[in-house]
Structure 1
Amino acid sequence: MRGPKRRFQGGGRPSPRPPPGPPVELTIQSVGGEGDGVAAGPVFVPFTLPGERVRAQGSGDRLELMEVLEPSAERIAPICPHFGSCGGCALQHWSHEPYLAWKVSRLAGTLARERIETEILAPYAAGPATRRRVTLHARRGDRDMARLGYKARKSWDLVDIAVCPIAHPTIQAAIPALKRLAARLFEHPKSAPSLHVTLTDAGLDIDITGVEAKSGGLSADARMQLAERAAEAGFVRVTLGGEVAYMAHAPHVRLGPARVILPAGGFLQATKDAETAMADFVAAQAAGATRIADLFCGVGTFTFRLAEIAPTHAADSAPEAVAALMSALSTAPGLKGVTAEARDLARRPLLVHDLRHIDVAVFDPPRAGAAEQTAELARSGVSRVIGVSCNPATFARDARTLIDAGFTLERLLPVDQFLWSPHVELVGVFTR
């Protein structure tokens, strides 16, 4: 995309007027942690790439891109018509290889801040149209169709989407039906619904949050119409804050050898292929174990595969997730054995005594990390720890705890399943 200077065209609707402040010409030196280009100052300009000369406008250290004067050879045309206004994607304008290399370098930099070096393996990268889990926000439209989409960039406004190139084609095809479904959710003026859409092996499962409940929630008539529209669309289940409003049959997914019925709003990895890549890697690194702990296990993303290797004890703070895991055991004959408990591992981590027979521990915590549980693992006799993380910063903190206790971070697999965003996930392997 080299050529003469060009106005920025992100694909979305342009700003109605330029931001305050005089226009300035800048040379972009790097890409920052949130995906914005960084010029000397530092000054941050979204939708720019290293080496580009741009015209930007605004005040303070965060400007808006007005024009690309000298584009990078790495600049490509974004594939989404909403790119630039939608807050979901930040990096559709960057060609794939340098984009992925940037994510890996950010990960290495985060580890370096904790004085950690390790072998970083070739990253797993999800492709477009693979996301099986999205959250769409709804706003009042007309009686038959709500406005539905993602938050606008740096705003609470909504970008009403027609397509979403990151989402699985089944989800994309359902956008009109989801807008029809959401139109029945606005009986109360304070309702600001979000539709948490998950593609299961049975079809689409939708958990709705943000419907005003203090006034009594939806009326019986609105619930009836919600169910009718769900049936017309062929959705498998619709829940309101976890309560079933419509169900044709139970939404289920295959996790290794097990068939798991998901609890309402249950967590899954964002893409099926990334889940498989991570689970295969975790299982390979756990090979040879005699007893395994799967901590922050959820509905069993890794549990069932680990239990094919050795007896596995699973723990998670969500009772409904643990119940779903245990119910699925009957669908997976031949496992070495699974025990599970609902346990808040931040308040009540498995202690050294609980870990005395464990030789391999896997942890996959939320973004806050696993500081309390890592401290117990560091004091235990566990010989191998496999850490899965959606937050490299808290992973690096927890890794430092293990390393200070005598572990070595031997290798790390970067995982890019949040395509065109700044987020990167990982799986790290520690041994004593």
Structure 2
Amino acid sequence: MAAGPVFVPFTLPGERVTAQGAGERRDLVDVLQASPRRIEPACPHFTVCGGCALQHWDHAPYLAWKVDRLIGTLARERVEAEVLAPFAAAPGTRRRVTLHARRGDRDSARLGYKARKSWDLVDIDVCPIAEPAIQAAIPTLKRLAARLFEHPKSAPSLHVTLTDTGLDIDITGVEAKSGGLSADARMQLAERAAEADFARVTLSGEVAYMARLPQVRLGPARVSLPPGAFLQATRAAEMVMADFVAEAASGATRIADLYSGVGTFTFRLAEIAPTHAADFGAGAVAALSAALSSAPGLKGVTVEARDLVRRPLLAHDLRHTDVAVFDPPRAGAAEQAAELASSKVARVIGVSCNPATFARDARVLIDAGFRLERVLPVDQFLWSPHIELVGVFSR
């Protein structure tokens, strides 16, 4: 018998199960008494694939559990706020996935996700979280990946994004020290991309094939994406978050959009007031700048390539700004939050994929006199433990 709690994946509260193993983490053997909230998983690869962890849980308690985890994470930093009804992404709406490839035969690679608790690959045929266009492309993506194994050390990953103009695929993990792909392999890669009518295929950012620019609409703008560009995982979540951010920024006279990326929020914010966008990614900044001409009616946008960890916008830089938005990577925005805390900015809107670092940064703002008014939970990584949020602070 274990002396303390034991964690067994693929179980639910109240169930009686048998498990095997040692220590606090065990493996499920059998469910002796199932929860009434247990449902049939949507994917035939569930429990083997390392992607989804919660497909066996009915939607309502699953979502409530994720929101409770979010509230608990905030509470550990003594952060409280009104938590709004969460947004939940539907199955079949994930527009970007990373698929790993392993050698198969000459015409078709093995393609899928890492297996649970293993470096092995689960060769998938379907993926219920992904957009139908991505699922339909799995056989052609396997054909495309078959040409990537000239070097035995190659372990390719295909970063697939569904754009308004078709699939954009950035391939990483192809051994480069030997000279990369041969001219013959590159030609066959391009031929297979053309057969599949992909928009673009790049090798670590270098164009190997392009039929048309991968583009997405962000508010009033049409943005041509750089290779490997970051987008919110689902289009619906992006729209809900952008609407929420824009509503919270209404009435602003000057806005700072920090960690702006390709302009997920920038163009919507610039319909409200002049907006300064800053991001460390030169490609993202260039794409945002180039898209400005496609968006009529903006109040004015300035764009800056800037590492906001090493060179956050200082309180002095923000002296004419009354609303600031930040949407950092998982590590959070500690350096920028400190400057916002000492600035005269009246309202801050934080977007985060990591509630723990958001809570840390929120504590800095709250200690400086801000109040976290409300939080919108966003579940766009369906059937995983992860949840995102948007929080609105006012002085």
**TM (normalized to structure 1)?**
0.91
Q: Would you say 1:79 and 2:36 are equivalent positions?
A: no
Q: CA deviation at 1:418?
A: 0.1
Q: Would you say 1:69 and 2:55 are equivalent positions?
A: no
In structure 2, how many angstroms separate the alpha carbons of the residues matched to 1:372 and 1:116?
Answer: 19
* DSSP-derived class of the 2:185 partner: helix
Counterpart in the other structure of 2:364: 401
User: Identity rate of aligned residues, in percent?
Assistant: 82
User: For each residue in 1:58-107, what CA deviation from the matched residue of structure 2 results, as whole angstroms up to 9, or x when unmatched?
Assistant: 11111110000000010000010000100000000000000000000000
* DSSP-derived class of the 1:90 partner: coil
1:303 maps to which of 253, 262, 266: 266
In structure 2, how many angstroms separate the alpha carbons of the residues matched to 1:409 and 1:316?
Answer: 24
User: For each residue in 1:156-186, what CA deviation from the matched residue of structure 2 results, as whole angstroms up to 9, or x when unmatched?
Assistant: 1000000000000000000000000000000
Aligned residue type for 1:380:
S
The alignment's C-alpha RMSD in Å is: 0.8
Aligned residue type for 1:320:
G
Counterpart in the other structure of 1:159: 122
Structure 1, unaligned runs of 5 or more: 1-23, 25-38
In structure 2, how many angstroms separate the alpha carbons of the residues matched to 1:286 and 1:390?
Answer: 20
* DSSP-derived class of the 1:279 partner: helix
In structure 1, how many angstroms separate the alpha carbons of the residues matched to 2:257 and 2:221?
Answer: 16
In structure 2, how many angstroms separate the alpha carbons of the residues matched to 1:40 and 1:245?
Answer: 57
In structure 1, how many angstroms separate the alpha carbons of the residues matched to 2:212 and 2:164?
Answer: 11
Stretch deviating more after TM superposition (132-141 or 57-66): 57-66
Q: CA deviation at 1:40?
A: 7.6
In structure 2, how many angstroms separate the alpha carbons of the residues matched to 1:244 and 1:325?
Answer: 20
* DSSP-derived class of the 1:245 partner: strand
Aligned residue type for 1:67:
D
- CA gap of 1:40–1:311, structure 2 versus 1, over 3 A, is farther
Aligned residue type for 2:390:
V
Q: CA deviation at 1:348?
A: 0.2
User: For each residue in 1:111-149, what CA deviation from the matched residue of structure 2 results, as whole angstroms up to 9, or x when unmatched?
Assistant: 000011110000000000000000000000000000000
Counterpart in the other structure of 2:217: 254
User: For each residue in 1:232-286, what CA deviation from the matched residue of structure 2 results, as whole angstroms up to 9, or x when unmatched?
Assistant: 0010100000000000010000000000000000000000000000000000000
Q: Would you say 1:114 and 2:77 are equivalent positions?
A: yes
User: For each residue in 1:330-374, what CA deviation from the matched residue of structure 2 results, as whole angstroms up to 9, or x when unmatched?
Assistant: 000110000010000000000011000000000000000000000
Aligned residue type for 1:113:
R
Structure 2, unaligned runs of 5 or more: none
Counterpart in the other structure of 1:197: 160
1:216-255 correspondence to structure 2 within 5 Å: 216-255=179-218
* DSSP-derived class of the 1:130 partner: coil
In structure 1, how many angstroms separate the alpha carbons of the residues matched to 2:121 and 2:384?
Answer: 18
1:338 maps to which of 265, 285, 301: 301
Counterpart in the other structure of 1:365: 328
Counterpart in the other structure of 1:4: none
2:111 maps to which of 148, 152, 175: 148
* DSSP-derived class of the 2:308 partner: coil
* DSSP-derived class of the 1:313 partner: strand
* DSSP-derived class of the 1:249 partner: coil
Aligned residue type for 2:56:
H
User: For each residue in 1:386-426, what CA deviation from the matched residue of structure 2 results, as whole angstroms up to 9, or x when unmatched?
Assistant: 00000000000000000000000000000000000000000
In structure 2, how many angstroms separate the alpha carbons of the residues matched to 1:291 and 1:40?
Answer: 58
Q: Would you say 1:175 and 2:175 are equivalent positions?
A: no
Counterpart in the other structure of 2:346: 383
In structure 1, how many angstroms separate the alpha carbons of the residues matched to 2:46 and 2:270?
Answer: 43
* DSSP-derived class of the 1:388 partner: strand
Q: Which runs of 4+ in 1 moved over 4 A?
A: none
2:9 maps to which of 46, 51, 58: 46
Higher relative contact order, structure no. (Cα contacts within 8 Å, ≥ 6 residues apart): 2
Q: Would you say 1:292 and 2:284 are equivalent positions?
A: no
